[in-house]
Structure 1
Amino acid sequence: MTSGTPTTRQIDTSTAHPARVYDWLLGGKDNYPVDEAVGERLPAEARDAARQNRAFMHRAVAWLAAQGIDQFLDIGTGIPTEPNLHQIVQGIVPTARVVYTDNDPIVLRHAEALLVGRPEGVTDYVEGDVRDPAVIIAHARQTLDFSRPVALSLIALMHFIGDDQNPHELVRNMLAELPSGSYLVLSHAASDLYPELAELVTAEYAKGGIRLGFRTRAGVLRFFDGLDLVEPGLVTATEWFKGTPAPAPEGSGIYAGVARVR
C-alpha cells in the first residue's frame, strides 16, 4: 500500500545539496554538475564513509524489524538507493509502515520508487525539514500509530545542523513524541577520529555552499541522552552490528548507534 501526495517544486541546480552529493558518492546518477563538483573534490574516504553509513543503516533497521519493530520514520531519506529502508524492513515484517522525509525536491521526484513497498505494508513520503519537526510529526501521525513503538531514523543527517540551530533539542523534542519502546537510529560524522580529514571534508562542502558540523564522540553521544543504548553502544559505523556476522574490520569516521526510548 502506498500513500503520500507529491507536488512539484523547482529544483535548484545552482547550489549543491547534501542528498545529491551523497547520491554521487554512492555512485548514483541523480545529481547535477554542482553536486558532482563537490564530490570530486572530496577525498576517497568520503565514498567509503557513504558506503559504511548505508551498510550500518541496513544492519540496524534489519535488527529492529527482527525485534518486532514495524513502524519507521526516516528523516533525511535521500535519493533512493536499493535496497532502501522499507525494502529491508518489509522483507522481514511485510506489514511494516514506513514514512520517508526529505527537504530536497529531487527526492520528491523519486517518491514513487520510495512508495513501492510490500502490498501488506504502508509506505508514505512527506517533503519536510528536520528543523521543522512539528510538520513531519503531524504528517507521520496520519500513517504511523504513535501509541506503539516507532523507530526514528536519522542517518547522516544531524551533522548538517549547526549548533546554532539546536540540533540536540530538535532530536529530544521528536523523541518526546514517541512512546516507550521506540528507538533512535543515528549516524553522525566525527570530528575527533580523523581530525585533518574532517577539516578537509568540511572545507570542501563549504565551497559548495553546504555547512557541516562534525562532532566529537561526546557531542554525538548527547543525542542519546536519556535513552538506553543498545550494545555495542556508540561505536563507528563499521563496528555496529547485532545478530549478524561482524563486518570486515575497517576504519571509519562515522559514529553510529541505536538506542531505546524508556
Structure 2
Amino acid sequence: MAAVISIANQKGGVGKTTLTLNLGYGLARMGRKVLLIDVDPQFNLTFGLIGMDVLNYETTNVGTLMTRESSVEETIVEITENLHLIPSHLNLSAKEIEIINAYNRERRLEKAISPVLPDYDYVLIDNPPSMGIFLVNSLTASDYVLIPLELSYFGVIGMQLMFNLMAMIREETNESLTLMGLVPNKFTRQTKVPQTRLKELRETYPDAPILTTIPKAIALEKAQGEGVSIFDYEPEGRAARAFEKLTREVISIVEGE
C-alpha cells in the first residue's frame, strides 16, 4: 500500500513543485513505483512533466476525478515506467466550485485514488499555495506532510499557519496525519540570514524534523524548464546530491531502512 505524502505550504514560491518533481524522480530511480498528483490550478507540475500536452486532458484530470466525471485508472498518465501522473488542467479552478458544493467534499481525493494505492509505493501530492478545498482534500488523503520553506523571516513565521491547519485536519478528517519534516529550500551560504533563520526554526519548533537542505541552484530551474529532473540535467551537481540524500531520508522514514 502506498505511502501518501502531501508537499504543502500555504506560502507561495517555496519550491513545492520542484520538490515534488525531483523527489518523485528520485524515488523512481531507486526502484519505487511513484504516482504524482497535481492539485494546483496553476498546473506547474503537470506542465513541467508533459508540457503543452496538458491541453489534451480536459476530461481526464484531477478535477474531473474529484467530481467523478473520470475514473482514476483513465486519469493516470505514464511518465516513465515507475513514475505516473494525475494531471491538473486549466479547468481545475472551475471544478473547485463543484467540489465545494459536493457531498463529503473533504474526502473526494481520498476516495478517488483508493483503488490504485496498492499499485504504488509512494503517492506525492503537489498542492496550491492556499488553504482551500484542494489542500484540505490532499491532507485528508495523506499519511505524511512534507513542508518546503525558504529561510526568510516570513518563511519561518508562516510555519505556524501550516501547523494550525494540520491540527485542524487531525481533529476533523485525518487523525493519523504526520509531519514527515521541514525541507529548507533555496539555501545559500552567501549571507548569514539563512543560517540564522535555520537556528530560529530549530528553536521555535524543536519537535519538527528538519530534513536535507536543498541548495539554491539555477540548474533546478533550468531542469524544470526543460521538463527533466535534476538527476538528468546535472547529475553530479550539489542539487542532485541533495535530492538523492532527501530521497534516501524519505525512504528511511517510511520504510525504516
Query: What band does the TM-score fall into relative to the shorter chain?
Result: 0.3 to 0.5
Which protein has the bigger helix share?
2
Structure with greater contact order relative to length (CA < 8 Å, sep ≥ 6): 2
TM-score, with length taken from structure 1: 0.38
TM-score, with length taken from structure 2: 0.38
